[in-house]
Amino acid sequence: MLFLTLVVSHIFNRLNLPAVIGQLILGVILGKGVLNIVKADNNVNLFAEIGVILLMFLAGLESNLKLLRKHLVPSITVAIFGVILPVALTLMTSLIFGINFKESIFISVVFAATSVSISVEVLKSLNYLSSASGTVILGAAVVDDILAISILSVMSGTLTGAFSMQKILMLLGLWLLFGILIVVLHKWVIPQIIHLADYIEATQAPTIFALVICFVMAYIADKVELDAVLGAFVAGIAVSNSKYYKEKIGSNIEAIGYSIFIPVFFISIGLNLEFSSFLKDFWLIVFFTITGVIGKLFGAGFGAKLSGFDLKDSYVIGSGMISRGEMALIIGQIGFSAHLLSEEYYSAVIISVILITIISPFFLKHSISKNPL
């Protein structure tokens, strides 16, 4: 897997395309869809999970906190419109294809969540991550995740008949505590922990401290029913406060991540793509994919335009919000396990999510080429 990652990355870089596209396609070729020689077993899934956490930690390290604060309101606006339109279009598509109302609602929730990890990789490769547009994409993706998880909690409770206002209030309380914890750790705790490395006589002490902070924050975010990658992202922002070590930590974790874990994450996305139901559900997959792309592109793009960005920047932001990836796959799996998503439509939904994920870097690359820094 690692050797082939090098090969496809070289080819796609020579073609002036983001290497991540080649890695996503490589996953499809190695997995169930074509050669079926790599299985998405526990080992691959573990490496992939570590990979996405490290990727989002690096995104946090490279983020500009002042820009994130400045663009907080635009990020929220982009996230809200980037959820409303995909949900509406997917719900309409599902109902037109004769899927029952309860299942249609859940499918629309699957397509609500953005997975910014793919966009982060493209933004990093094109040196666009710390731009205003890149900052809004990151901020909106965080809000988007919280919205998607909130909708999932309410929907799953309502649709299974287990809706509890007490559970919703408990979740909101946990998220509020998590927010307070982030502020306290960011301002007073984490920078001091990183500087403890000055007094530790051990190889790579700052990097080890940073990794511990990254995984602890990811764990806490997961425990309060937020996405682990959100915890890793805010940990990266907090560690970036320690300017003395920021560059050194970033380069070391980049070496660890991109040498093994991050490529496995991108490959893993395509491993479970199967074409057995592709012909049977061909038009459903086509429409889910089209509405999935259009919903985020125009929904998030409209939110950006409403926030004062010009058309070119709005196109970049809309393109950066298209990708679904692991978040949608996780929501789909939860729904399948809870019998909210039937086996009949499960494959069509998963294929559509993976296709959207593979398509999204092309849109982002094109939008940035039209609006260079």
Q: What is the pLDDT of residues 331-347, one digit of tens each?
A: 787 777 677 888 788 88
Residue with tokens 């965080």: 142
Q: Identify which has the larger pLDDT, 156 or 218.
A: 218
- Residue 119 CA to residue 72 CA, distance in Å, equals 19
- Residue 242 CA to residue 7 CA, distance in Å, equals 36
* Contact in structure between 92 and 71 (CB atoms under 8 Å): no
Q: What is the mean pLDDT of the chain?
A: 87
Range of weakest confidence among 7-21, 116-130, 137-151, 201-215: 137-151
* pLDDT surpasses 90 at 86: yes
Q: Which of the given ranges, 191-195, 202-206, 253-257, has the highest pLDDT on average?
A: 253-257
- Residue 53 CA to residue 362 CA, distance in Å, equals 23
Choose among 296, 301, 279, 309: nearest CA to 353: 296
Residue 227 has a pLDDT of 77
* pLDDT surpasses 80 at 322: yes
* pLDDT surpasses 70 at 60: yes
Residue with tokens 């709005």: 314
Q: What is the pLDDT of residues 99-124, one digit of tens each?
A: 998 899 889 988 988 877 888 888 98
Instruction: Provide the b/e sequence for 20-54 (b: ≥16 CB within 10 Å).
Output: bbbbbbbbbbbbbbeeeebebeeebeebbbbbbbb
- CA angle in degrees (0–180, nearest 5) for 352-291-275: 20
* pLDDT surpasses 80 at 164: no
* Mean pLDDT along residues 179-185: 88
Q: What is the largest CA-CA distance in the chain?
A: 65
* pLDDT surpasses 70 at 243: no
